[in-house]
Structure 1
């Protein structure tokens, strides 16, 4: 655990600044493009092990080239304007915005001026994937290059990131030297970023379900006719029966067995609509229904008619 450059350093030359920034944030190529002293530059770092917050400014206009090896970068202008090039794409960011750079992807910042004050977040690739899986249930979530931090979630996350940096500065990093504290803060920062930056899509609420819920839902939908027991579903989820019940209520709004019952109703309804089955009983039993009286009442409540009427209409 380290908090580098705790007292504002003075850089004797651009080479010294380059070396410090490469160590603290990302390896890169730096080239001054205007006159100005390296000594007017500033660099502070909060190292949370799997991610880092860096406050960066330069004493002259410089160009930066980097491919962000092994980690994603999010650069947030606190003042000034940042132009970034990734391939043929040009991204612009000012206060209230941010630019995200995917890992191992070449990027150019052609004119980082002395008026630009950046709060940067570096996130190791494997940690980003782990947090993506925890938040969205999958590790392949892509953070967009242009991030608008003027939404409620974006503003809240930016306040969190700035407060984390300011707290580390005020206590010389001592607060975050405990690995458990650092890990919790890192997870909080990355989770907040994902929720603020990744846009809502159809089914996005389902995407936010944790892995145990996803695993159980997949198992139920793959084989709803199976005579599932609570312990079977909990084993698939890798959690206790009680925790699985809680997770379903929190993220699905129902219980695992209510969800299973609803899937069975859907499968029965689909078969009846398309006339797949000699009788309602045959279809219901095929999908694991054992209490036909309760099934008929639930079917009518859901679809507004008795299952026999659905089958008759398909004939």
Structure 2
């Protein structure tokens, strides 16, 4: 459900049951207790579906309490105003702007006080998706997720900025929602940034050269693959930060830069040997999708345009 203020003014004011049902459809099933007799005049609801990740902006406009088991998915609730008070697994959690309440799947969580002026940005993440991502990102298990995340640190601010940017962009360009590849990438980026915000100090310590070698071998074996940072980290069995630290320490570059060099070398060899009829054929064969950026990288690496190498 996605409404702007003008559209909302043109429609009759919903009842609490109607508004609650809309929130349930957009985010999670729940039991709502309203602390006011007023209809939800000031209620706001917007949502964006990214496959295993769903974003929602929710404000009730009156003080309420909300109880949910969050079936099959984690809920990460970030109050952008007001007060969000909860009982999460028996632990009292009070979140204000700059903090996030993390609700586990299939466990009853009570938002005992959702103040009238509290509007949240929520991120729903399928439990299976997060369980798959966490070990590859930070080398930990999903059971170690915190009940509250401090968003005032660098990693937390980075996640909130990404959350706000992606949510706003998808609402401005709803046609992007039809692109499953875009959705997957955006959802994965949000999940990775959130996990790093949960564990800002993870991944510190020495990285052995063997880890870097394992990832290099995987990239050399299939350089055209659409490698993500999480997939490369999973090859080495470490988190993304440790992998990046290792590449900087032993190679002086990031894994992405190393992959680009491997791909450039494959294109260069093809062009020299005349194995490709055009530069575009060679570039696409080895995983380059943006020919302008590829040509600039090729010239920086080899000192000539790729077309010059092809002409021989």
TM-score category of the 2 structures, normalised to the smaller one: 0.5 to 0.7
Specify the alignment match of 1:65 in structure 2. Answer: 67
Q: Distance in 1 between matches of 2:45 and 2:126?
A: 20
Tell me by how many angstroms 1:139 deviates: 4.5
Q: Distance in 1 between matches of 2:163 and 2:59?
A: 17
Q: TM-score, normalised by structure 2?
A: 0.64
2:97 alignment partner, SS class: coil
Specify the alignment match of 2:43 in structure 1. Answer: 41
Q: Distance in 2 between matches of 1:72 and 1:143?
A: 10
Structure 1 or 2, whichever has the larger Rg, is 1
Structure 1 unaligned segments of length 5 or more: list them: 218-229, 256-315
Q: Distance in 2 between matches of 1:107 and 1:16?
A: 22
Alpha-carbon contact 1:56-1:118 (below 8 Å) kept? yes
Q: Distance in 2 between matches of 1:206 and 1:101?
A: 30
Q: How does 1:203-218 map to 2 (within 5 A)?
A: 204-205=203-204
Alpha-carbon contact 2:138-2:196 (below 8 Å) kept? no
Alpha-carbon contact 1:130-1:139 (below 8 Å) kept? no
Specify the alignment match of 2:82 in structure 1. Answer: 80
Cα 1:138–1:153, aligned 2, differ >3 Å: closer, same or farther? closer
Cα 1:143–1:87, aligned 2, differ >3 Å: closer, same or farther? closer
Alpha-carbon contact 1:132-1:141 (below 8 Å) kept? no
Aligned counterpart for 2:113 among listed residues 71, 89, 111: 111
Tell me by how many angstroms 1:19 deviates: 1.0
Tell me by how many angstroms 1:251 deviates: 5.2
Specify the alignment match of 1:90 in structure 2. Answer: 92
Structure 2 unaligned segments of length 5 or more: list them: 224-231, 237-241, 252-312
Specify the alignment match of 1:125 in structure 2. Answer: 127
Tell me by how many angstroms 1:163 deviates: 1.0
Cα RMSD after superposing both structures: 3.1
Matched pairs, number: 228
Q: How does 1:168-179 map to 2 (within 5 A)?
A: 168-171=170-173, 173-179=174-180
Q: Distance in 1 between matches of 2:199 and 2:89?
A: 21
Tell me by how many angstroms 1:169 deviates: 2.1
